[in-house]
């Protein structure tokens, strides 16, 4: 049974990531985000961000990652975000007008996110922090695949 919009804590939610090698941890995150908002926007980091900031080569090209996320019923909209937007969420909130940013709890209490929380308060927006799914990550999948092909 679909949850009534009035029961949701937030109207518009936003989360962002690379979402390369889509896995159960990504799905857990996105479903949890959607359970808290009526409309979920997912930002996908562009290939330049992956290469220049994460210093990794994406397994799947950007538009394949966008297409996979668009196919999920828990995702209402997918947007491509660049390095500046990934590093400064104020650029995203001004354009997308969301009420809540969903983020991994490893960012909680960091100077960057404490500043973002203050900035978001001026927009009436919040940050919800979620723990990562234990035992699964894109890096782990890549490493396991490498070791199994040797």
Quick: pLDDT tens for 94-137: 999 999 999 988 889 999 999 999 999 999 999 999 987 665 55
Quick: pLDDT tens for 16-58: 999 988 878 889 999 999 999 999 999 999 999 999 998 988 9
Quick: pLDDT tens for 49-102: 999 998 988 989 999 999 999 999 999 999 999 999 999 999 999 999 999 999
pLDDT of residue 3: 47
Q: How many domains does the chain have?
A: 1
Catalytic residues: 54, 56
Which CATH number does the domain housing residue 123 bear? 3.40.50.620
Residue 1's pLDDT band, with cuts at 50, 70 and 90, is very low
pLDDT of residue 22: 85
Integer-rounded Cα Rg, in Å, for the chain is 16
- The answer to whether 125 and 10 have CB atoms below 8 angstroms apart is no
User: What domain range is 59 assigned to?
Assistant: 5-148
pLDDT of residue 26: 87
Q: How far is CA 130 from CA 31, 32, 33, 98, in A?
A: 12, 9, 9, 17
pLDDT of residue 24: 86
Helix, strand, or coil here: 61? coil
Whole-structure pTM value:
0.85
């Amino acid at each position: 049974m679909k949850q009534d919009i009035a029961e949701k804590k937030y109207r518009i939610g936003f989360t962002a990531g690379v979402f390369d090698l889509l896995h159960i941890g990504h799905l857990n995150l996105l479903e949890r985000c959607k359970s808290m908002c009526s409309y979920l926007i997912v930002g996908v980091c562009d290939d330049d961000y992956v290469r220049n900031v994460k210093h990794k080569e994406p397994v799947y090209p950007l538009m394949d990652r966008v297409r996979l996320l668009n196919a999920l019923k828990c995702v209402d909209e997918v947007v491509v975000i660049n390095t500046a937007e990934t590093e400064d969420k104020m650029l995203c909130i001004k354009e997308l007008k969301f009420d809540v940013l969903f983020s991994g709890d490893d960012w909680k209490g960091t100077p960057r996110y404490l500043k973002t929380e203050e900035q978001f308060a001026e927009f009436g927006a919040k940050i919800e922090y979620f723990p990562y799914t234990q035992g699964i990550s894109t890096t782990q999948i890549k490493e396991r695949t490498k070791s199994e092909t040797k």
